[in-house]
Structure 1
């Protein structure tokens, strides 16, 4: 990507400048001009405004290379904050992230379970209030709330197709209910897409890369970013690799298809296979996440049956990763989510092996495969990053969510956008 196209990818010169400052850590005005392709006059005007708004700091001068040393700029991490929530049947994870993307606090509570959506939303509102109070954050500095959950999701009605464990959430107006309760704008997205945004926002991924975050919690999905922009598809539900059919005569999946990767090799399938093989994964009422963790621990100890079950799961997952890499011509795949946090080391070799030997464009470039450093909480971290990216560095077709963009997620019911919090 050229410097000029980097600026054009954003919705404004301010967005481009903030994104570059965030990614660089510290940077001079001259370097901003080179990186964004914007004029020196534009850089000077926008940076002055950002300093006046308290978003950017001057933090000293760079070493002189001959001539007057250049003043360095960086984001003020305490200027704004974002809240991320990952809502799942097995657990609800909360994070508060500062402007630079660092996690201020994180908290995990029991999941939605069999409680009604209204009961769970009331609990989330209470828990967010308590978390803000404990951290001492000024509410006026909270940009917004990002909420992510499994499966297809829209802003107007929340989840539109849910796994059996969360069937009661279908078409529940989640964003509206939470915005009423918490009092800040709400963005909705699926957990896999959010995890990809979180990986990008945390740094270490080239702005010109095409990468996917493969997410495995109790289900399997993926989020894809190309040149720093989320690839969303027609309804913001791209990347459902768990529902790639790998056996046309296979068992029925909850999505309506047959022989999907998720139904054959997801955590629930792993637990079912382990029980059938006589492994001790706890009582039947135990959650899939807890039982999968038991299988993973047994495999990591070297228990051969558990290892064989996870190796079979890994081969299916590798096929899904290979399919996505071929379609999107990826150069990086990140394994993330609670299940990969436990068993990523058992899945990584299978994905690496298939991509190194069968990726279609392997003669042109390799596909690197890594495990996220935030795998266990990546969806909640990504939910907060969605808010940060939406407000700090909105892109033309990325996570900036406005009603006029049609089927992409939007702030609930056309309510006030979080952009107002940036002045």
Structure 2
């Protein structure tokens, strides 16, 4: 939990601390409780609450009887006072969501045009989707504070540039923040997809649920994001989380593979390639990634021995990667999600739990929680929108730094 400070020069920071406490208290919270949890004085809390009420970010939601004395006034979030757009760039589909302050999805649209198109064509189409999204939701456009974009890495988050994503060859060195901002008229932030997914768990699920965890992201590639004390660790360039680069044991691996890295043996495109190579699918049955992946999982679910062998092998490789992450980071909570996770989860998650729990390579024997994200397939898009709200509204220690200018 972030603590506030009573220094008079940091009122905006303290206001953010107060707002975060109110946002995470779904049943409401009193000023006295805010003061106790934040370390702020009663007067500082009252001043911050007054400004938040004036900005319509919170409301007074009646009183609550608590023993003797005057019942305290409860403060609650006003979810529909601000909104943010999240855009998830995937090689096969672009997902756009509009969320409110509580992280609820207000509207959703998908652009099925593949991103193999040049950015000069795709960016205006994405901006048009965003405009339609906001219009269809029938909200005041001035309440939308910006657009967050979740993209495959590597990215230059500081400058808003997509650098060289392997599955988006035409997008190399694309200044997406600048172009999409100009096309949409809204501020734009860029985030790596796995880190956006981890942020969604923090913003949407709330303070009481999880604070320190790893997020295993199964998209076109594999990512593993990390959150510590409700902060996503992005690395020095914003590209932390390349879980596909983890090397897993080479025993019992497909005969044809680019390497023993997790992304080359367990990512969706690798599983489809294995299925074709091992005669489980024909090339005609896998004309593209989505069709091949769906057919492979359909056959595995139906009990096809070859399909089941490929999928269970992927589960063993993922479990091996998770053990390495648990050992390295000493975490006990792993969340799974991403656009390709839900269909495969019933086939691999039970094995992953068993293998991680029983692994002789575990350095600690404490229980590790392993489960699917409750947010669903749109977790990266929701996380991208959460990034905007988090940047605008959450308390940041960096805002306390005094500029030398």
How high is the TM-score relative to the length of structure 1? 0.86
| Counterpart check, 1:33 vs 2:35 | yes
Query: What does the per-residue CA deviation read over 1:186-231, in whole Å, with 9 as the maximum and x for residues that have no partner?
Result: 0101110000100111125647731011110111002211001111
| Counterpart check, 1:159 vs 2:162 | yes
2:104 to 93, 102, 105: 102
| Counterpart check, 1:312 vs 2:313 | yes
The verdict on how the C-alpha distance between 1:31 and 1:339 changes in structure 2, with shifts beyond 3 A counting, is: same
Query: What does the per-residue CA deviation read over 1:253-311, in whole Å, with 9 as the maximum and x for residues that have no partner?
Result: 5xxxx421111111111101112233347737733133212212222232222121111
* In 1, Cα distance between equivalents of 2:332 and 2:95: 30
The verdict on how the C-alpha distance between 1:176 and 1:265 changes in structure 2, with shifts beyond 3 A counting, is: same
Alignment of 1:48-197 (within 5 A): 48-155=50-157, 156=159, 158-163=161-166, 165-197=167-199
Structure number with higher relative contact order (C-alpha < 8 Å, ≥ 6 residues apart): 1
Contact (CA 8 Å) 1:83, 1:146: kept in 2 or not? yes
Aligned twin of 2:215: 213
Aligned twin of 1:223: 225
Contact (CA 8 Å) 1:87, 1:112: kept in 2 or not? no
Structure 1 residue ranges without an equivalent (≥5):
405-423
* In 2, Cα distance between equivalents of 1:334 and 1:11: 33
Aligned twin of 1:410: none
Once structures 1 and 2 are overlaid, which stretch shifts more, 262-271 or 242-251?
242-251
The verdict on how the C-alpha distance between 1:284 and 1:120 changes in structure 2, with shifts beyond 3 A counting, is: farther
Contact (CA 8 Å) 2:17, 2:394: kept in 1 or not? yes
Contact (CA 8 Å) 2:6, 2:41: kept in 1 or not? no
* In 1, Cα distance between equivalents of 2:136 and 2:383: 22
* In 2, Cα distance between equivalents of 1:11 and 1:348: 44
Structure 2 residue ranges without an equivalent (≥5):
none
Alignment of 1:326-365 (within 5 A): 326-358=327-359, 360=362, 362-363=364-365, 365=366
1:198 to 193, 197, 200: 200
- Cα deviation, residue 101, structure 1: 0.8
* In 1, Cα distance between equivalents of 2:6 and 2:343: 39
The verdict on how the C-alpha distance between 1:264 and 1:34 changes in structure 2, with shifts beyond 3 A counting, is: same
The verdict on how the C-alpha distance between 1:303 and 1:76 changes in structure 2, with shifts beyond 3 A counting, is: same
- Cα deviation, residue 107, structure 1: 1.5
The verdict on how the C-alpha distance between 1:38 and 1:136 changes in structure 2, with shifts beyond 3 A counting, is: same
* In 1, Cα distance between equivalents of 2:5 and 2:103: 20
- Cα deviation, residue 112, structure 1: 3.2
- Cα deviation, residue 157, structure 1: 5.4
* In 1, Cα distance between equivalents of 2:292 and 2:216: 21
* In 2, Cα distance between equivalents of 1:7 and 1:304: 65
Contact (CA 8 Å) 2:14, 2:395: kept in 1 or not? no
* Secondary structure at the counterpart of residue 12 of structure 1: helix
Contact (CA 8 Å) 1:273, 1:309: kept in 2 or not? yes
- Cα deviation, residue 5, structure 1: 8.1
The verdict on how the C-alpha distance between 1:269 and 1:131 changes in structure 2, with shifts beyond 3 A counting, is: same
The verdict on how the C-alpha distance between 1:273 and 1:98 changes in structure 2, with shifts beyond 3 A counting, is: same
* In 2, Cα distance between equivalents of 1:238 and 1:389: 19
* In 1, Cα distance between equivalents of 2:215 and 2:5: 22
* Secondary structure at the counterpart of residue 366 of structure 1: coil
* Secondary structure at the counterpart of residue 379 of structure 1: helix
Over aligned residues, Cα RMSD in angstroms? 2.7
The verdict on how the C-alpha distance between 1:205 and 1:12 changes in structure 2, with shifts beyond 3 A counting, is: closer
Contact (CA 8 Å) 1:224, 1:239: kept in 2 or not? yes
* Secondary structure at the counterpart of residue 127 of structure 1: helix
Aligned twin of 2:275: 274
2:45 to 43, 46, 53: 43
* In 1, Cα distance between equivalents of 2:348 and 2:36: 41
The verdict on how the C-alpha distance between 1:157 and 1:72 changes in structure 2, with shifts beyond 3 A counting, is: closer
- Cα deviation, residue 78, structure 1: 0.9
- Cα deviation, residue 244, structure 1: 1.1
